Chains A and B, each alone.
Chain A
Amino acid sequence: MENFETIITLRNIKRVFSMGQIEVNALARIDLDIQHGEFVAVMGASGSGKSTLMNILGCLDRATSGDYYLEGVHVNDLNKRDLARVRNKKIGFVFQGFNLLPRTSALENVLLPLLYNRDLRSRDLKPKAMKALDAVALTDRIHHEPSQLSGGQQQRVAIARALVNEPSLILADEPTGNLDSRTSIEVMSVLQSLNNRGITIVLVTHEPDISLYANRIIELKDGRIIRDVLARQPRNAAADMSRLDKDKVGTPQPGSEPVTET
């Protein structure tokens, strides 16, 4: 079901931050093509330009020079209003810090992008939000506020929010950065299942373990791509999850659920 058609094309992208006299070349020269349905992990040291790249891909920031095509549309030509529309309908964001609205229920957080989508009728909004929450297995937590949810659950709400407008691209900047390893795998399994449904995913991570779930790994250094490899056999997060759970049951730990056999 993978449809190898180019979704992202970057040509000679540069991003220069000037702070007074000093100029920082956050992105020195990026040429990149990403096909529909790919799961790309972007790696690299701190300060290598990963977030800068994601912000440009997500139409939150503009390149200093170079061309960006998103699904054939030349993003450089779009005005602010068009960019807002692209962010709303074509792209879903997942952040390291979750970035949910505080004191606002999971359902309302997921509804948020729908409210800014002018093509929907109001009675379709809630079913769509419920569907997205169902995709991240959170239908039993819809009235919980972020402070009442675990980190993994919060990130799943954020993912539901990212996918609610049925975007073709999900951008995740260190989505597992604040999570323990088990919860990280849980989030990766959600992302993998979305990828299996055809959504293109670009994910930034520091952790080599996490990048193993992607089918393509790109490494940045000083604003350039220094490595771009396809993974022959990505790990399956769902399988890793169930293996982890089985281990846990096999070796009971204090505080975990009581096991009946003695």
Chain B
Amino acid sequence: MKLGNLLKVALKSMLKNRMRSLLTMLGIIIGVASVIAMISVGEGAQSSVEGQITSLGTNLLIIMPGSSSFGRIHRGAGSLDTLTWDDCSALTSQTGLIQYVSPVVRVNGQIIAGRNNWYASILGVSDTYLNIRDWKLEDGMFFTDRDIRSRRKVAVLGQTVAENLFPGQSPVGARIRIRNVPFTVIGVLEEKGQSATGMDSDDVVLAPSTTVSYRLSDGKNIGSIMVSAVSMDVMDETQAEITAILRRTHRLHEGQEDDFNIRSQTEIAQMATDVTGTFTMLLAAIAGVSLLVGGIGIMNIMLVSVTERTREIGIRLAVGARESDVMVQFLIEAVLLCMIGGILGVAAGFGIGYLLCQAINLKLAINPAVVVLSFLFSGAVGVFFGFYPARKAATLDPIEALRYE
């Protein structure tokens, strides 16, 4: 029989059993939909993590206090304050591979401006911080090296802070109180948008590191140091150089463990994407199982259908159908059920994925390869699970099939 006719016959028999066809497809629809939803949400998460981290700049190195053995705490929290101002100036005086150095002193606190108040992170940084992060000013100016040396009480506001404290007006020149210490606003940062993890990088106040350290904190230690290398290609060398400098300033003997650790953004990105990638695969595997169950459902229904249509098969054989004709007819029916289920599943999957992404604030990633793959896969499910019933139909004895009640 010609392919066009076979398709027509298959479609007709599906339409004759509309409800049953739909229920049969449901297994495939759910399977494909969950695969698609899981993968697209997972990939959305992955790409937004990646995007966020590359937006930090890939030539960044962050020096944190504590041992490099990641995730292992073997000292008291107090003794983790190992980074000092001396470290900072030692790194700054080095001009080879290191481009910019900025200490980061983080304090959280209440900020008051007139009748408005806001709770935010205050970062004490150096005048090169904007260069390191590649951030830009929208209004006003940034503080200078002199401001830092004289511990001036000036602040640059992130967009979120500015909007909440000074709705509808320019904050530059205004006076605010951070933890009851008066500051003058000298600039506003450009909007950077919400990050994938839900962290608002606009919800921040920048101030001279010395001011934050001595006026808002105890003036002793530095939370972390941010360094940018002259180029992305020399990250490893830069890391080695920093390690050497810090070991020297910390007077660490040979064989002694580092009391700090250096992480590059790519490393952090790798870790984050690895985690989300593994998670995506796990979800997809679980979803794949439901696709398998859907396939078994198809096989079950096809077997019922073959039994139900035994007489029809007998008639077809009697009027000259070959075994292969009957076989192909039932295979096409199974594949068609799966393919249509696949199409509906892909649509449903993206629908669910879209809603999920809306709920957790991600951008939905539509990967055409996944669409094609799950479509082909559902076709393959049809062939695989349709094969046995189709063979059973094709090898029926025509006389017995005709006599079947």
The 0/1 profile, CB within 8 Å of A marked 1, for residues 1-26 of chain B is: 11011000100000010000000000
**Complex CA distance for A61 and B398, rounded to whole angstroms:** 8
B322 and A99 within 8 A (CB): no
Q: Is B71 close to A, CB under 8 A? A: no
A103 on the interface (CB 8 Å rule)?
yes
Contact at A115–B1, with CB atoms within 8 Å?
yes
- Quick one: CB contact mask for A59-97 with B, threshold 8 Å, 1 for yes? 011000000000000000000110011011100010100
Judge if B147 is at the interface, Cβ distance under 8 Å. Answer: no
Q: Is there contact, CB below 8 Å, between B315 and A116?
A: no
The contact size tier of chain A is 20 to 34
Contact B16 A103 (CB under 8 A): yes
Cα distance A88–B398 in the bound complex, in angstroms? 14
**CB–CB B399/A80 < 8 A:** no
Are A84 and B320 within 8 A (Cβ)?
A: yes
**B399 lies within 8 A of A115 (CB):** no
Give min CB distance, B79 to chain A, whole Å: 83
* Contact of A116 with B402 at beta-carbon distance under 8 Å, contacts A84-B320, A88-B319, A93-B319 already known: no
Q: Are B315 and A101 in contact (CB under 8 A)?
A: yes
Q: Are A116 and B321 in contact (CB under 8 A)?
A: yes
Of the candidates A81, A122, A161, the one whose C-beta lies within 8 Å of that of B322 is A81
- Measured in the bound complex, the distance between the Cα atoms of B319 and A88 in whole Å is 5
**B316 contacts partner chain A, Cβ-Cβ < 8 Å:** yes
What string of 1s and 0s marks CB contacts (under 8 Å) between A234-246 and chain B? 0000000000000
Place the interface of chain B in its size category: 20 to 34
Q: Are A116 and B312 closer than 8 Å at their CB atoms?
A: no
| Residues on the B chain within 8 Å of A55, using CB | 399
Partner of A84, one of B5, B322, B399: B322
A58 B5 Cβ-Cβ under 8 A: no
Contact mask for chain A residues 132-171; partner B; CB cutoff 8 A; 1 contact, 0 none:
0000000000000000000000000000010001000000
A115 touches B5 (CB 8 A): yes
Q: How far is the CB of B314 from chain A (nearest CB, A)?
A: 8
Given contacts A99-B315, A101-B312, A122-B2, contact A116 B399 (CB under 8 A): no
Interface residues of B in 300-350 (CB under 8 A from A): 311-312, 314-323, 325
B323→A112 contact, CB < 8 A: no
The answer on a CB contact under 8 Å between A84 and B321 is yes
Query: A113 touching B320 by the CB < 8 A rule?
Result: yes
A87 & B318 in contact (Cβ 8 Å cutoff): yes
Q: Pick the contact of B311 from A61, A89, A99, A161 — CB < 8 Å?
A: A99
In the assembled complex, which residues on chain B have CB atoms less than 8 Å from the CB atom of A113?
319-320
Closest to A55 in B: B399
Check: A46 CB closer than 8 A to any chain B CB: no
Known: A88-B319, A99-B402, A101-B315. A116 touches B325 (CB 8 A): yes
Smallest beta-carbon distance A129→chain B, Å:
13
A117 interface hit (Cβ, 8 Å): yes
- Tell me the minimal C-beta distance from A132 to chain B in angstroms: 12
13 contacts between A and B (CB under 8 A): A60-B318, A60-B398, A60-B402, A80-B323, A99-B315, A100-B315, A113-B319, A115-B1, A115-B5, A116-B321, A122-B2, A161-B319, A165-B320
Listed from nearest, the 6 A-B pairs whose CB atoms lie closest are A88-B320, A113-B319, A116-B320, A84-B322, A87-B320, A60-B398
Q: Which residues of A contact B (CB under 8 A)?
A: 55, 58, 60-61, 80-81, 84-85, 87-89, 93, 95, 99-101, 103, 112-113, 115-117, 122, 161, 165
